[in-house]
A and B are shown apart, each in its own frame.
Chain A
Amino acid sequence: MVIAFVRTVILYLFIIAGIRLMGKRQVGELEPSELVLALIIADLAAVPMQDFGIPLLSGIIPILTLLCITMIISVLSMKSVKFRVLICGRPSIIVENGKLHQREMAKNRFTVDELMEELRMKGITDISTVKYAILETNGQISVLPFSDQKPPIAKDMAVVPEEAGLPLVIINDGRVLDHNLKTRGYDQVWLSKQLKSHGVKKPEEVYLLTADELGRTYFAPKEAVK
């Protein structure tokens, strides 16, 4: 058992180091330590699950060990910037003021095709309109266009739109959500009026009814299922 413990610690740290060396692109949406945990925890659980000749503890001890190390790494990452950089790496600027940082792209083994694909997915076709494109530590790309390329927001246009707040679901597939109804400050009388105004008699005939903080509602009747 102590061998399982020591091997788990060594392999976990080894795989984290491997993932870090492979670069940010391999990581996906998880941090390296989280990705490694996700990769090996399922396998560790599956082995004693399938092979009855292996004691259950052979699976439980490495899993518990991994969870403890992950917890230690995540707390240390939160407390120390240096440790975080060591485990997760630093974000890489691959486009700055419309110019490609080719060395940084090569360092992260990031091709032009991949960059163009990422930019297109964000609605950008011209690199010269990009102020910054940053390859984040989780492998995602953040794109910040030049100020004159950003879509205007209400504040830019000196418009003050109404704050509608979060619409709450009042009827979900024929079921009345009483808690949301009360949260919005409405009652059954209000609900009956709403149903009547939309030409239905019972909540069972409604697929979706929402209400926002300004009292605006969205109504969708149930369609007849063939």
Chain B
Amino acid sequence: MKQIWIAVGLLLAILAGTLAHSFYLSGFTGELTALLEQAEERAEAGDWAAASEYNRKAHQVWDEKEIYLYLLLRHQDADEIYMSFCEVAEFLECEEGGEYSAANAKLIAQLKLLTEAEQLTLKNIL
């Protein structure tokens, strides 16, 4: 009977761990999205330096969790988000308003999709 409790315990631990991951990822991408939206607001106001700073901060937050992200997410998804960060940074540096806005919206959408893909919903299970 001990074996069954070990197996059940392990199953519950896996379920708890995976739920914790999806909960954490949701908060993490929410934080990034907030920073990126603030950057966009600053860019729309013409404060490119502040916008760059917000974007840099968001990129730094992403980089700090690189190992965790590569451990749990598809590497292709993580790579695409990294490339989008670089693209957004470049448009900010060139002060290309329209292009920056489109690239930033794409980055925010990628982060949203990343979180959505890890949520325990019927849509994802099916």
Q: Are B71 and A55 in contact (CB under 8 A)?
A: yes
Q: Are B21 and A1 in contact (CB under 8 A)?
A: yes
Stretch at the interface among A68-76, A90-98, A190-198: A68-76
Interface residue from B11, B75, B117 paired with A65 (Cβ < 8 Å): B11
Given A1-B18, A4-B18, A55 and B118 contact (CB-CB distance below 8 Å): no
B76 CB contacts on chain A under 8 angstroms: 53
Cα A53 to Cα B1 in complex, Å, equals 39
Give 1 or 0 for each of A52-66: 1 = CB within 8 Å of chain B CB. 111111100100110
Cα A138 to Cα B115 in complex, Å, equals 44
Cα A76 to Cα B18 in complex, Å, equals 26
Q: How large is the interface on B (under 10, 10 to 19, 20 to 34, 35 or more residues)?
A: 20 to 34
Interface size on A, residues (CB 8 A): 26
B7 CB contacts on chain A under 8 angstroms: 67-69, 71-72, 75
Q: Are A10 and B71 in contact (CB under 8 A)?
A: no
Q: Are B71 and A2 in contact (CB under 8 A)?
A: no
CB-contacts of B9-67 with A (<8 A):
10-11, 14-15, 17-19, 21-22
Q: Are A68 and B10 in contact (CB under 8 A)?
A: yes
Query: A5 within 8 Å of B by Cβ?
Result: yes
B73 CB contacts on chain A under 8 angstroms: 55
Q: Which residue of B lies closest to A56 (CB)?
A: B71
Q: Are B8 and A2 in contact (CB under 8 A)?
A: no
B residues apposed to A, CB below 8 Å: 1, 3-4, 6-8, 10-11, 14-15, 17-19, 21-22, 70-76, 117-118, 120, 124-125
A residues apposed to B, CB below 8 Å: 1-7, 10, 52-58, 61, 64-65, 67-69, 71-72, 75-76, 79
